[in-house]
Amino acid sequence: MALSPSLQNLSVTSVANGISNTTSRTRRRPSLVVHMATSDTSIGTFEEGRLVRPKWTGHTPISRLVVALISFKPLYSILKLGARQVLISTAEKNNIPWREMAKEILESDAYKELESIRDHSLEYPDYYLNPFHGYDEGNLTWLAAAEAEAATLSMVRRAIPDASSVDEANQILRGNWLQAIEQHHLKYTKTSMINDILDIGCSVGESTRHLAAKFPNAKVTGLDLSPYFLAVAQLKEKNRAPRKHPISWIHANGENTGLPSKSFDLVSISFVLHECPERAIVNMIKEAFRLLRPGGTIALTDNSPKSKILQELPPVLFTLLKSTEPFIDEYYLTDMEATLRQAGFVNIQSILTDPRHMTATATVPY
Ligand X SMILES: C[S@@+](CC[C@H](N)C(=O)[O-])C[C@H]1O[C@@H](n2cnc3c(N)ncnc32)[C@H](O)[C@@H]1O
What is the helix (H) or strand (E) element at residue 153, kind and residue range? helix 142-159
Strands 264-270, 292-303: pairing is parallel
Q: Are 208 and 222 a contacting pair, CB within 8 Å?
A: yes
Is residue 170 part of the contact set for ligand X (CB under 6 A)?
no
Taking the least distance from each CB to ligand X, the nearer of 86 and 129 is 129
- Closest contact distance (angstroms) between CB of 5 and ligand X is 26
Is residue 206 part of the contact set for ligand X (CB under 6 A)?
yes
Taking the least distance from each CB to ligand X, the nearer of 82 and 125 is 125
Is residue 353 part of the contact set for ligand X (CB under 6 A)?
no
- Closest contact distance (angstroms) between CB of 202 and ligand X is 5
What φ, ψ does residue 223 adopt, rounded to 5°?
Answer: -130, 135
Tell me the chain's radius of gyration from C-alpha atoms: 19
17-22: long-range pairs with CB below 8 Å, 24+: 18/52, 18/305, 18/306, 18/336, 18/337, 18/350, 19/52, 19/53, 19/305, 19/334, 19/335, 19/336, 19/337, 20/52, 20/335, 21/335, 21/338, 22/278, 22/333, 22/334, 22/335
Taking the least distance from each CB to ligand X, the nearer of 52 and 276 is 276
Taking the least distance from each CB to ligand X, the nearer of 92 and 325 is 325
Binding-site size, ligand X (CB under 6 A): 24
| Residue of 20, 60, 108, 152 that binds ligand X (CB under 6 A) | 152
- Stretch in the footprint of ligand X (CB under 6 A) among 5-13, 19-27, 221-229, 356-364: 221-229
What is the helix (H) or strand (E) element at residue 185, kind and residue range? helix 166-188
Taking the least distance from each CB to ligand X, the nearer of 52 and 172 is 172
Is residue 354 part of the contact set for ligand X (CB under 6 A)?
no
Rounded to whole angstroms, the Cα distance separating 266 from 273 reads 17
Q: Which residues of 45-64 are buried (b: 16+ CB within 10 A; e: fewer)?
A: ebebbebbbbbbbbebebbe
Tell which positions 117-136 bind ligand X, by CB under 6 A.
Answer: 125, 128
Taking the least distance from each CB to ligand X, the nearer of 111 and 128 is 128
List, edge to edge, every strand of the sheet that includes 219-224.
248-251, 219-224, 196-200, 264-270, 292-303, 357-363, 346-352
| Residue of 26, 41, 179, 207 that binds ligand X (CB under 6 A) | 207
Per-position x/- string for 262-301, each x denoting binding to ligand X as judged by CB under 6 A, each - no binding: --------xxx--xx---x---------------------
Rounded to whole angstroms, the Cα distance separating 66 from 278 reads 20
- Closest contact distance (angstroms) between CB of 39 and ligand X is 22
- Stretch in the footprint of ligand X (CB under 6 A) among 20-28, 101-109, 197-205, 347-355: 197-205
Is residue 237 part of the contact set for ligand X (CB under 6 A)?
no
3-state secondary structure of 352: strand
- Closest contact distance (angstroms) between CB of 209 and ligand X is 9
Is residue 302 part of the contact set for ligand X (CB under 6 A)?
no
> Which residues are near ligand X by CB under 6 A?
125, 128, 139, 152, 200-203, 206-207, 223-226, 229, 253-255, 270-272, 275-276, 280
